[in-house]
Amino acid sequence: MWKSRTKIDLIIEVWEKLDCENVGAVEIEAIETVVADQYGASAVDSPMVIARLLADEGAQLRHSEIMKLYLERASDRPYDAAIRNIIKIYDLKSAASSLRSLENLRQKYVVENDKDGLRLVSETALGGKRTASENSERNDLDEAARQMNAEIVQWFTIWLQTPEVFESWHDLRLRSPEFVKIFGDMRES
């Protein structure tokens, strides 16, 4: 019935099928139902994420309804404490620390066979990567800050692709002549 090939396209397609300019709790829940049917419950984004996507597409939001829906669900969030503020990319050391923390959580969720936890860890890492990528392209930052953020993007990319080998790769990267030339010797004693 649905023609969309991606989750984002599906959200937009469902909204268009609902044929409504204003989006509130009822519309968000209808979209969530379709996304869950197509991709599984773990693929359903928060009401705020769906609302932001639809606002970008021109929808007028009934903010109070969406916020109420979000807050109702926020009370049942077992992962918030573990994930909240885990990503810090102020400098290379804080980025490395964030990735170590993510890896610790990932390993915990692997042992527990917690697919929702694993998905959330990946989404959090993708958010950190996206922020660093945006920063690496900002014209108002100096070249050193853009280079640092580009390096952090590379770190997140490697971790997301092969988290099991990231620590070894990272150690080799810190020793590489290219890295030392750009950032200096950052290896911890």
Q: Is 144 exposed, middle or buried (0-12, 13-18, 19+ CB in 10 A)?
A: exposed
Q: Sorting pLDDT into bands at 50, 70 and 90, what band is 189? A: very low
> For residue 78, what is the DSSP state?
T
pTM above 0.85, yes or no: no
Of 43, 50, 42, the C-alpha closest to 14 is 50
Q: Which amino acid is at 76?
A: D
Which helix or strand (DSSP H or E) is residue 71 part of?
helix 63-74
Domain assignments of the chain as residue spans, ordered by start: 7-74, 80-183
Q: Which of 30-44, 54-68, 77-91, 157-171 has the lowest mean pLDDT?
A: 77-91
Question: What does R_g of the chain's alpha carbons equal in angstroms?
Answer: 20
**173-180 mean pLDDT:** 95
Beta-carbon count within 10 A of 68 CB: 14
Categorize the per-residue pLDDT at 75 as very low, low, confident or very high, splitting at 50, 70 and 90: low
